[in-house]
């Protein structure tokens, strides 16, 4: 799914094409400065060299020296998850569990679904004798990645420490199932069976332990039994970045040539690939009274197909484009504070108004997003309602039909003055989250595994937001936010402390779009 970029301002604006194109050009030019952030979070050659030295020290068994080296790496790049995990591993091997927990907490603040951080925290808590907390951390690690057998073993040790022998036995039996040559699990399980009174099985397990460990030198150091994929050293991937200077672009006003009838057309506007060939088409309002498709032919846009009536009092503010019925052709939802429409778009430019058949006939909205929030391969709708009514989720039932299902998804049903909704994986857990702008602040609803959402404290980067857009602006594979507040756009980089500020000046900019307009590899 993708949503076409908006080329419009607030409802009622965008009444002339030249004004729209000039405003867009000015905004794109201003935001080009954001791509040249001095701290893009990319690892430097010196940082990579330090990481490799620490890795070598750790793998040679000098955990104390490795910890000092990784401390230097963390000091150089505090937002590097790899550096902090390496440091936590070295500190664990050096017998400093309290320091391990400091750095795993930092990692989890940046990546809550780091299985390695949860695992290392659990191992550190085991060493402290804090078995209840160890169970929580290790279970989190196992929930995120169930393929690491050592996590089950350590989880069994934590349960044993709590004298919960039934759960310890269950974890150790699972360890044996997937790792029958494990050097310690048979002995641990035999001791648990003795406590359960099953001496016959305990004896069998002890014999198996002797068989598995025969001829092997098994250290008594707990680090030996903690080793797994989560304790492997990491050297960060260095993403090749586009050239910083970018490509010089000049804007020319081609409105008269490309849109000879442009004075008849108004927004909101959407780009539409009618023929699925990559050639642009436009969805517009014509003469303020009908929806119309324009196709690019012979060097200019001209009408195609049939128009359908629009409501003069619709208060239209946004057009969402996507395949609503999985027939490989695009459809459109026109959102308006007075009325909304669901339109079927044909390859020949024909438009069919299907609103009455979709379950959205009563929908009034000032903003919205199409997204597959519940992983059903269908595009559902999240909408911001007018007059302070809050947000709503309309679940797609297929065939371009919808059902309001806000409460079931865990989103709020109470009234609040939402002016924008955005869908983005803000916390990098591979799940789409929902953000709503309201009263200069952002309400953040994190997607929970299982298909529901939970209200979460909004990041400080979103304070003062009148409008926001989210994307990777510095090519470090983390989401960033551009926040529009009055005549200023402030860019906050995910995981970093620096920001970029762009002064727009007067001009009534009310929406933001991310677009690599000069094809240089950076989002503008």
Q: Which pairing describes strands 300-309 and 290-297: parallel, antiparallel, or unpaired?
A: antiparallel
Pick the closest to residue 82 from 119, 56, 55 (CA basis).
Answer: 55
Reduced to 3 states (helix: H, G, I; strand: E, B; else coil), residue 369 is: strand
Q: How many residues does the chain have?
A: 524
pLDDT in single tens digits along all 524 residues of the chain: 333 334 333 333 333 333 343 334 444 444 444 444 434 445 677 888 899 999 999 999 999 999 999 999 999 888 889 999 999 999 999 999 999 999 999 999 888 889 999 999 999 999 999 999 999 999 999 999 989 999 999 999 999 999 999 999 999 999 999 999 999 999 999 999 999 999 999 999 999 999 999 988 888 888 899 999 999 998 776 666 677 777 788 888 988 888 888 888 888 999 888 877 778 889 999 999 999 999 888 888 888 889 999 999 999 999 999 999 888 888 999 999 999 999 998 878 889 999 999 999 999 999 999 999 888 889 999 999 999 999 999 999 988 899 999 999 899 999 999 999 999 888 877 889 999 998 888 888 988 876 789 888 877 667 777 888 888 888 777 888 888 888 888 888 876 666 788 888 777 787 888 888 888 888 88
Q: How far is CA 60 from CA 55, 65, 116, 233, 455, in A?
A: 9, 10, 21, 12, 46
Q: How far is CA 448 from CA 111, 312, 369, 414, in A?
A: 14, 41, 19, 20
Sheet bearing 351-353, strands edge to edge: 316-322, 331-336, 341-345, 351-353
**Domains of the chain in sequence order:** 45-225 (1.25.40.10), 254-458 (2.130.10.130)
Q: Is 214 exposed, middle or buried (0-12, 13-18, 19+ CB in 10 A)?
A: exposed
Contact 381, 369 (CB under 8 A): yes
> Would you give the DSSP letter of residue 24?
H
Pick the closest to residue 105 from 459, 97, 480, 145 (CA basis).
Answer: 97
> CA-CA distance, 151 to 117, in Å (whole number)?
12
């Amino acid at each position: 799914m993708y949503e076409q970029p908006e080329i419009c301002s607030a409802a009622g604006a965008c009444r002339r094409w030249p004004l729209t194109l000039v405003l867009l050009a000015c905004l794109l030019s201003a935001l080009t400065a954001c791509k040249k952030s001095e701290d893009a979070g990319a690892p430097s050659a010196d940082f990579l060299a330090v990481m490799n030295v620490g890795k070598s020290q750790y793998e040679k068994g000098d955990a104390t020296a490795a910890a000092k080296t990784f401390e230097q790496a963390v000091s150089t790049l505090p937002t590097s998850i790899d550096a902090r995990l390496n440091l936590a591993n070295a500190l664990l091997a050096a017998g400093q569990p309290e320091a391990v927990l400091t750095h795993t907490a930092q990692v989890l603040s940046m990546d809550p679904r780091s299985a390695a951080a949860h695992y290392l925290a659990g191992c550190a808590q085991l060493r402290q004798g804090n078995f209840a907390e160890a169970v929580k951390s290790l279970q989190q690690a196992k929930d995120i990645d169930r393929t690491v057998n050592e996590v089950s073993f350590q989880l069994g040790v934590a349960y044993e420490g709590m004298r919960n022998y039934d759960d310890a036995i269950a974890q150790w039996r699972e360890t044996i199932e997937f790792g029958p040559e494990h050097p310690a699990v048979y002995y641990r399980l035999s001791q648990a069976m003795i406590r359960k009174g099953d001496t016959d099985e305990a004896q069998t397990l002890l014999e198996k332990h002797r068989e598995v460990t025969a001829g092997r030198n098994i250290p008594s150091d707990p680090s030996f039994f903690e080793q797994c994929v989560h304790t492997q050293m990491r050297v960060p991937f260095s993403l090749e970045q586009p050239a910083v200077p970018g490509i010089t672009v000049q804007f020319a006003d081609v409105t008269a040539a490309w849109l000879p009838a442009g004075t008849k057309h108004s927004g909101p506007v959407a780009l539409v690939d009618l023929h699925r060939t990559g050639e642009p088409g436009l969805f517009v309002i014509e003469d303020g009274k009908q929806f119309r498709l324009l196709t690019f032919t012979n060097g200019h846009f001209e009408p195609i197909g049939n128009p359908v009536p629009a409501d003069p009092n619709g208060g239209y503010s946004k057009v969402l484009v996507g395949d609503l019925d999985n027939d490989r052709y695009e459809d459109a939802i026109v959102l308006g504070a007075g009325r909304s429409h669901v339109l079927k778009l044909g390859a020949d430019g024909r438009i069919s108004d299907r609103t009455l058949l979709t379950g959205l006939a009563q929908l009034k909205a000032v903003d919205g997003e199409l997204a597959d929030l519940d992983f059903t391969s269908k595009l559902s709708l999240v909408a911001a309602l007018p007059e302070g009514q809050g947000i709503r989720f309309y679940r797609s039932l297929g065939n371009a039909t919808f059902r309001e299902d806000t409460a079931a998804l865990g989103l709020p049903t109470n009234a609040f003055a939402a002016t924008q909704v955005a869908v983005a994986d803000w916390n990098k857990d591979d799940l789409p989250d929902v953000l709503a702008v309201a009263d200069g602040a952002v309400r953040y609803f994190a997607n929970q595994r299982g298909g529901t959402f939970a209200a979460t404290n909004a990041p400080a980067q979103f304070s003062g937001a009148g409008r926001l857009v989210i994307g990777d602006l510095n090519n470090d594979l983390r989401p960033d936010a551009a926040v529009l507040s009055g005549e200023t756009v402030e860019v906050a980089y995910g995981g970093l402390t620096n920001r970029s500020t762009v002064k727009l000046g007067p001009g009534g900019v009310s929406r933001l779009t991310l677009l690599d307009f000069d094809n240089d590899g950076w989002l503008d």
